[in-house]
Amino acid sequence: MGEVEAASKERFHALFSAEFAWIWTTLRRLGVKPADLEDVTHDVLLVVYRKLDTYDASRPLRPWLFAFAYRAASDYRRLARHREEPSEDVPDLEASVAASDEVLEKKQESALVHAALARIHLDRRAVLVAHEIDGTPMKDIAQSLGIPLNTAYSRLRIAREELTAAVLRIRARRPRTEQTRGES
């Protein structure tokens, strides 16, 4: 193995160690089902490994990685078996008897966010996740997704509106006892 190849592998291993969890979480937020996260994350990392020599180190890494995650999530969602409409119900997480109220609340909140995000078209969800959750600057998002900056801002505005509406719809459909439990 040559020095260049060894350095490339070392760079990839460092990237893998630092960013694996972020890629996994990003894919989950972009709608990849938990059962498929391992495979889709693996697919993203394979592409990243092949394209690593094209990365411009003067640019932020995560927006570059986000572009690969977005494309993988988009491909994943295009498959017929992944196109089912999301359920309007937030999973009943109270079955976890051993969980404390605080852990249960966090799980319910996370399930609510994932259920609401699932109702937002992937193009808009990608901008929302990258900007609001990951804190990526809009110019970097626009560049990594290959869209005009104004389009990115428009997608963000619409996604925020859709997220708010989805959360309200989901909460309105929850059983009354579940809604009041969190308020006591």
Segment 131-138 mean pLDDT: 93
**Within the chain, how many helices (H) and strands (E) appear?**
8, 0
Range of the domain at 96: 88-184
- What is the C-alpha separation between 12 and 33, in angstroms, rounded? 26
Q: Domain boundary at 55, 84, 113, which? A: 84
What pLDDT does 65 receive? 95
- Residues 6+ positions from 156 with CB-CB distance below 8 Å: 124, 127, 128, 131, 132, 138
What pLDDT does residue 176 have? 55
User: 59-97 burial by CB neighbour count: b if 16+ within 10 A, else e?
Assistant: eeebbbbbbbbbebbeebeeeeeeeeeeeeebeebeeee
CATH assignment at residue 38: 1.10.1740.10
Same-domain status, 106 and 121: yes
Looking at the structure, tell me whether residues 159 and 77 fall in a common domain. Answer: no
161 or 171, higher pLDDT: 161
CATH number at residue 128: 1.10.10.10
| pLDDT 10s digits, 135-152 | 999 999 999 999 999 999
Question: 121 and 68, same structural domain?
Answer: no
What's the whole-number average pLDDT of the chain?
Answer: 83
Q: Are residues 76 and 13 in the same domain?
A: yes
101 and 129 fall within a common domain = yes
In this structure, the answer to whether residues 63 and 93 fall within a common structural domain is no
10 and 97 share one domain: no
Whether 161 and 100 share a structural domain = yes
Q: What is the DSSP track for 106-163? A: HHHHHHHHHHHHTTS-HHHHHHHIIIIIT---HHHHHHHHT--HHHHHHHHHHHHHHH
| Domain end (from 84, 116, 140) | 84
Q: Please tell me the total count of domains within the chain.
A: 2
The residue ranking higher by pLDDT, 95 or 9, is 9
For residue range 70-126, list pLDDT tens digits in order.
999 999 988 856 555 454 444 443 444 444 566 666 777 878 888 999 999 999 999
